Structure 1
Amino acid sequence: MRRPSPLALLQEHLGTCRVRVHGASQGAGFFVAPGYVVTCAHVAGAQTGKRVPVFWKGTEFEGSVMTASAPPRGRELWPYPDLAVIQLLDAPADHPCVWLDSVPPSHGADLTAFGFSDIYEPGEASERSAALRRGGTTDALGGRMLELVGGEVNKGLSGGPVLNHGSGGVCAIVKATRLKNTAMGGVGIPVNALRLLDAQVYRALIRAHDAFHGCNDQWTRLSDRVVDNGSGGFAEGLGPVLNLTEERRLLAIFSQLPAEPMGEGLLPASRAGDEGESGGKPSGTKGHHAAFFAAAVEGARVPEDYPLLDHRDVFTELAAQMPPAAGQLPYELAFAADLVRRAATAGPACQGAVQDLRDLVLLTAGRLGVGEKVQQRLAQVPAPEAQASIIARIRHSMRDRRLYHVRVWRYRSASDIEPAAPESDALPLNQAVEHLAALLPEQIEIMGGATSPGLIELILPREVLDEGFADLSLWPQMHWFRLGHKQRVVVRPLERHETPALHAAWAKRWQQLDGKAVSEMVVCVCGRGDQHQAALDASFESDPTLAALALAGSPQSQPVSDAYQVAVAAGVPMMVWRRGSPACERGDGGRCGVPGRRACPGNGFFTELCATLSDTRRDDLPETIRQLRVDAQKPPRREGHLGDDIVLLWDDPRRQIPRSRLAPAQEGRP
């Protein structure tokens, strides 16, 4: 007799996790944790506290809607995420639960959706499963959904689970069919969208889910036969990776740790409010988790599509990142080590879980050959608090690149970034600069005042870099005040911030500057002769220490402009030049190095800059440049003073603004 395949056994087990829900409509749901059912809001209804019948194995149970997304406003389909959580008031003690997989399936991946159907017996719902595949992605109804193709998705599947054969976990919830009674498929809601519901309910649900699977391996024994659990090890050409068993054990321990901030001073604390918390009260928990994410993987953007509400969310988002370089700690393990350090001062109630976490981190690190690195991480001293700043961005309009949008944020840490004003309409450049100048005084006052030197970071396209931002006079009653004399004004390249593929090299070169004197690192670049773009690109590619440049002319003058573009793409985070200056011309007929490391007879700016910077370190450079601007105004005035028209590009990859979607080309049109 032929035995069922591992996949068939897992599908059969998932079928036992399925329930029928009779709420605002009739559909499916599934057990995610003991007593908790997930379904669609259009099935359960949007009214919190509403009692709904839930049927499992022919028995009716009474459930209560704990949280649900908002109903539609005059539209047939419910808006994103269209999810609800039901808690059974008297749940059966022996019911199974699915394993949630937060990583979206790859295109073409085999899927199975589970629910009910009355196609063959109208009015009599019977269990149904549908063999499907992952199609594309649909942006509709306010969110991003997975296209389910290759089979019929009838209305009785709504709210049901979608099994990813490749991961052995439930990756989505069925939302809607594309066309009734056809094999045109439908759409599913990623399980990560549960993080858009009430934060307290989500935490209770996801922690109960992880705790359940930490002591009940019924699902994982089946899924591990479908998916090769592996022993972990090394991704091809990259660093070590955890295996599935280690990941599940870590998540089970995380569920026992407090979700709120633990201990003080080990990571930057968020000052921002925590929108989405129950009752709308700020708690800082989201900022707390975002700080953990930022600490684990330098230079990566904190995820924005779904908020980080629990330790699990940080872990799964880190696991979805490209693995680090060989010899480095896996990001998830670095995060777990940070949790151990942070929890060391927590109350005695969770110390057992903290010790279990420490032991598991050390065992996993030992297996992966990174034991020494994790020991260093566990013993790490607290990182210094991030420097607060005002970050302003000027970027092109998608409709007309001659027009620009302006937006400003207050930055206090990677987890505490507040928008200061909505993005402006599309404006000509002179009006965009005027709009920015009108916004800055109030923001400077909020961040400490005009006479308390703060950091002003301007993210700009190349053609805007030479605008006289440092010379702006923002205070009419004190017309002698200049922005660059009172504040540390730096520029940053817009092109790099909008191209994620450039971020890895950028973070590495920034690290090269850590603790070193800038004068020892800076080299001269003019773009002439042997410094053509291909030669410069080869130099940057072969030498990661090339991280600070003195440009022998403005990035708007040729051939310096060509050299600047290569440097931005290569991730060079620090450049200095004189605003509006033409490209240097060597008068001695000599040839420049690639790039020029020695004193350049044709570029006095480079020579004077190296002498002036002396022992200045990376993080002190914005203040040094501010002082140079002030010194240039002291009598007796010297023409050509180094501080005259000096521009500093200082681009810290850890200091990134929230990523916003570009407006479509038809923006503003009816």
Structure 2
Amino acid sequence: MRRPTPLSRLQEHLGSCRVRVQGVTQGAGFFVAPSYVVTCAHVAGSQPGDRVPVFWMDTEFEGIVLTASAPPRGRELWPYPDLAVVRLLDAPSGHPCVWLDTMTPSRDAGLTAAGFSDIYERGSASERSAALLSGGSTKPAGGKMLELVGGEVNKGLSGGPVLNHESGGVCAIVKATRLQNTSMGGLGTPTSALRLLDPDVYRDLIRAHDTFHGQDDRWSRLSDRVIAHDAIGHDEGLDLALNATEERQILALISQLPKEPVERTRSAATGHLAAFFAAAVEGTLPPTRYPLLDHRDVFTELTALMPPEDRRLPYELAFTADLARRGVAAGQAWTGVAQQLRDRVLITAGRLGLGDAMQRRLAEQSGPEGEPSIIGRIRHSLRDRRLYHVMVWRYRSAHDIRPAAPESEALALDHAVKHLAELLPEQIEIMGGATSPGLIELILPVEAIDEGFADLELWPQLPWFSLGRKQRVVVRPLERHEAPSLHAVWAERWRELDGKAVGDMVVCVCGRGDQHQAALDASFDDDLALGVLALAGTPQSPPVSDAYQVAVASGVPMMMWRRGSVAWERADGGTCGAPGLGSCPGSGFFTELCASLDDVRRDDLPERIRRLRVDAEKPPKREGHLGGDIVLLWDDPRRQLPRSPLAPAQEGPSR
């Protein structure tokens, strides 16, 4: 008697996960997590809340449709993705579950589809499995589908699982036959398309799936033998890849992490996209087929990339390290699981011979100096200071600063400002999206420091969105960044502000009277605590412009003013003395500013200013509201760009 092969044993186990669904049509489904069944919408029905009979091992169970894709509109073929999730109200204890695989099978890879058929006895469905091959991908119904070729795909297989012999996991759900009663095959919907259903249902399902397989090894014991059997003579490049066991262990831990907010619009603009790019190699394109709804989706999308070169950390392992580092820093809610993740990635990296690289990844800085941001810069052309070059970076840490595009050609100032604005939306999308407040740092020469970046409306389809209300927009003085000799006192003043209430530190500077440049320079030299200034007008308006120059050279890291305002006069006609001595009687701006910032700390100031901009738009809208036109100069000396030449080697069009 011939001994069963590893594949035949896995195929038998696949059959034990199969269920029969008696919905709007007869078809199949399969267990993916305790109580959760995946099938086709054209089998179960498309209306959430509908009750559906589900049969497993000849026993009937009552199921309820949790989510399903929309029904067709006058078409026979249900629109993509034609999927439904059903939960059994009284599920059988101990039932098995398949392992969901997001890998796309290579062409001609062996596949097994499991379902039911009544071709031998009409009206009496019996279990059936079909031996098939992968015919590649196609898009006949609005989304990517897997072609199932080389065998018959009868109607009773609809909603059933498709096993990929290469990976040992279920890679698709049978959707349709190409032609009944022939061996012309059919179509399957990739398992990743489950991310197109209700986000909350999907995340509950996928987390339950990963948790189950972290505790129940029935499937993995069989699939690992299939993979091991087929891996003889495997590509040496796989030596730096995670094995199936390591992936399952990591995903089981990830499933226990707190959920991130998900945008119901299905926009990919979430923190998950930012996490994807933080781990991927520069130049990687964003995932576009399916939204990133959970940490798991980031992990699986990263595993699909070509492996890194030069013995770098696998991208999915780098992402897991980022989660662990973030979790350890986050405190109580994450700490236990984060520590387990940290241990797991250290063990895995050690097996791959990448222990040192992992230690460096885990040790990367956290806190404000390590907060991701978009840094845009406008700087003078070395050949003609009337022209300017524009460049944008994605800042993730002091060791991970990536150019978003080559530096621009030399442009007139108004064109440079416009070009910088045009570059921002795509980078905001990559770094988290318009509605996920991030830090936007704009390094600008004094002639552009008062431009209305906070008022920009960069999303034509959402004209009520302004940059400064959706993102934490700050400006930084180019002049200081291009003069290393000014950096020491700058860093000292920044440290002096650590932990102090900004409202208690603000002083008013106007440049009049005894605040001429020499007097201001002497005051700044004498007092490192002078680190937060309320300017009595725009830095482009004399005499405030003179005071601004001294403040930049003296390392003052934070300043605020009303955009476009001329220097105000003292109401009492008096002479302004050394900054910091008493309040300013010239304008309500200083008094209102101090009151609004009384409890905010240095590192939280950009978010407080963003909230003030939001408050300025709330009804009843008040003329002259502090947040309506406020500009924040917030210049963290720890967040600097790499040094580079002042101008490109040659002038010319952007590459």
What is residue 119 of structure 1 aligned with on the other side?
119
Q: CA deviation at 1:443?
A: 3.7
Q: What letter matches 2:342 in structure 1?
A: R
Q: Given the alignment, which residue of 347, 354, 377 partners 1:370?
A: 354
Q: CA deviation at 1:418?
A: 6.2
Superposition map of 1:576-587 within 5 A? none
Change (3 A) 1:212 1:384: closer
Change (3 A) 1:113 1:154: same
Superposition map of 1:112-261 within 5 A? 112-228=112-228, 236=236, 240-260=240-260
Q: Given the alignment, which residue of 319, 326, 339 partners 2:323?
A: 339
C-alpha contact 2:292 2:298 (8 A) present in aligned 1? yes
Distance in 2 (alpha carbons) for counterparts of 1:179 and 1:7: 28
Distance in 2 (alpha carbons) for counterparts of 1:94 and 1:155: 29
Question: Size of the alignment, in residue pairs?
Answer: 421
Q: What letter matches 2:264 in structure 1?
A: E
Superposition map of 1:632-643 within 5 A? none
Distance in 2 (alpha carbons) for counterparts of 1:238 and 1:126: 41
Q: What letter matches 2:327 in structure 1?
A: A
Superposition map of 1:112-511 within 5 A? 112-228=112-228, 236=236, 240-260=240-260, 274-276=263-265, 287-299=270-282, 300-381=284-365, 382=370, 384-387=372-375, 410=425, 411-412=427-428, 414-416=430-432, 443=458, 446-447=466-467
What is residue 522 of structure 2 aligned with on the other side?
none
Distance in 1 (alpha carbons) for counterparts of 2:13 and 2:6: 11
Gaps of 5+ in 1: 262-272, 393-406, 420-439, 456-616, 629-641, 651-670
Distance in 2 (alpha carbons) for counterparts of 1:147 and 1:45: 24
Q: Can you list the C-alpha shifts for 1:468-487, whole angstroms capped at 9, x where unaligned? A: xxxxxxxxxxxxxxxxxxxx
C-alpha contact 2:160 2:174 (8 A) present in aligned 1? yes
Change (3 A) 1:452 1:351: closer
Change (3 A) 1:235 1:108: closer
Distance in 1 (alpha carbons) for counterparts of 2:233 and 2:476: 49
Q: Radius of gyration: which is bigger?
A: 2
Distance in 2 (alpha carbons) for counterparts of 1:68 and 1:454: 53
Q: What letter matches 1:649 in structure 2?
A: S
Q: Can you list the C-alpha shifts for 1:442-486, whole angstroms capped at 9, x where unaligned? A: 54994479x98999xxxxxxxxxxxxxxxxxxxxxxxxxxxxxxx
Q: What letter matches 1:153 in structure 2?
A: V
Q: CA deviation at 1:239?
A: 7.2
Q: CA deviation at 1:138?
A: 1.6
Change (3 A) 1:18 1:192: same
Q: What letter matches 2:197 in structure 1?
A: L
Change (3 A) 1:73 1:408: farther
Distance in 2 (alpha carbons) for counterparts of 1:233 and 1:310: 35
What is residue 106 of structure 2 aligned with on the other side?
106
Q: Can you list the C-alpha shifts for 1:251-295, whole angstroms capped at 9, x where unaligned? A: 11111111227xxxxxxxxxxx82346xxxx9xx96111111101
Distance in 1 (alpha carbons) for counterparts of 2:166 and 2:237: 22
C-alpha contact 1:101 1:167 (8 A) present in aligned 2? yes
Q: CA deviation at 1:621?
A: 6.8
4+ runs of 1 displaced by more than 6 Å? 229-234, 389-392, 451-455, 617-622
Distance in 1 (alpha carbons) for counterparts of 2:223 and 2:456: 58
C-alpha contact 2:239 2:352 (8 A) present in aligned 1? no
What is residue 3 of structure 1 aligned with on the other side?
3
Q: Secondary structure at the match of 2:359?
A: helix
Q: CA deviation at 1:12?
A: 0.8
TM-score, normalised with respect to structure 1:
0.58
Distance in 2 (alpha carbons) for counterparts of 1:235 and 1:338: 28
Q: What letter matches 1:257 in structure 2?
A: L
Q: Secondary structure at the match of 1:343?
A: helix
Q: CA deviation at 1:298?
A: 2.7
What is residue 21 of structure 2 aligned with on the other side?
21
Q: CA deviation at 1:119?
A: 0.8
Distance in 2 (alpha carbons) for counterparts of 1:140 and 1:229: 35
Change (3 A) 1:229 1:347: farther
Change (3 A) 1:234 1:55: closer
Q: Secondary structure at the match of 1:369?
A: coil
Q: Secondary structure at the match of 2:144?
A: strand
Distance in 2 (alpha carbons) for counterparts of 1:187 and 1:200: 27
Q: Secondary structure at the match of 2:373?
A: coil
Q: What letter matches 1:112 in structure 2?
A: T
Q: What letter matches 1:313 in structure 2?
A: D
Distance in 1 (alpha carbons) for counterparts of 2:301 and 2:110: 23
What is residue 654 of structure 2 aligned with on the other side?
649
TM-score, normalised with respect to structure 2:
0.59
Distance in 1 (alpha carbons) for counterparts of 2:181 and 2:371: 59
Distance in 1 (alpha carbons) for counterparts of 2:319 and 2:230: 22
Q: What letter matches 2:288 in structure 1?
A: E
Q: What letter matches 2:116 in structure 1?
A: F
Q: Can you list the C-alpha shifts for 1:204-261, whole angstroms capped at 9, x where unaligned? A: 1111111111011001111111111899999636872111111111111111111227
Distance in 1 (alpha carbons) for counterparts of 2:84 and 2:134: 23
C-alpha contact 1:71 1:79 (8 A) present in aligned 2? yes
Distance in 2 (alpha carbons) for counterparts of 1:274 and 1:16: 36
C-alpha contact 1:130 1:153 (8 A) present in aligned 2? yes
Percent identity for Structure 1 against Structure 2: 61
Q: What letter matches 1:24 in structure 2?
A: V
Q: Secondary structure at the match of 1:245?
A: helix
Q: Can you list the C-alpha shifts for 1:45-74, whole angstroms capped at 9, x where unaligned? A: 110111111000111101010010111111
Q: CA deviation at 1:366?
A: 1.1
Distance in 1 (alpha carbons) for counterparts of 2:137 and 2:94: 37
Cα RMSD (Å)? 3.5
C-alpha contact 1:318 1:331 (8 A) present in aligned 2? yes
Distance in 2 (alpha carbons) for counterparts of 1:120 and 1:86: 28
What is residue 269 of structure 1 aligned with on the other side?
none
What is residue 91 of structure 1 aligned with on the other side?
91
Q: CA deviation at 1:387?
A: 2.4
Q: What letter matches 1:311 in structure 2?
A: H
Q: Secondary structure at the match of 1:314?
A: helix
Gaps of 5+ in 2: 377-390, 393-403, 406-421, 436-454, 460-464, 479-639
Q: What letter matches 2:431 in structure 1?
A: S
Q: What letter matches 1:90 in structure 2?
A: D
C-alpha contact 1:62 1:89 (8 A) present in aligned 2? yes
C-alpha contact 1:111 1:162 (8 A) present in aligned 2? yes
What is residue 495 of structure 2 aligned with on the other side?
none
Q: What letter matches 2:343 in structure 1?
A: D
Q: Secondary structure at the match of 1:112?
A: strand
Distance in 1 (alpha carbons) for counterparts of 2:304 and 2:210: 18
Distance in 1 (alpha carbons) for counterparts of 2:73 and 2:340: 49
C-alpha contact 1:234 1:241 (8 A) present in aligned 2? no
Distance in 2 (alpha carbons) for counterparts of 1:234 and 1:136: 22
C-alpha contact 1:135 1:147 (8 A) present in aligned 2? yes
Distance in 2 (alpha carbons) for counterparts of 1:377 and 1:220: 30
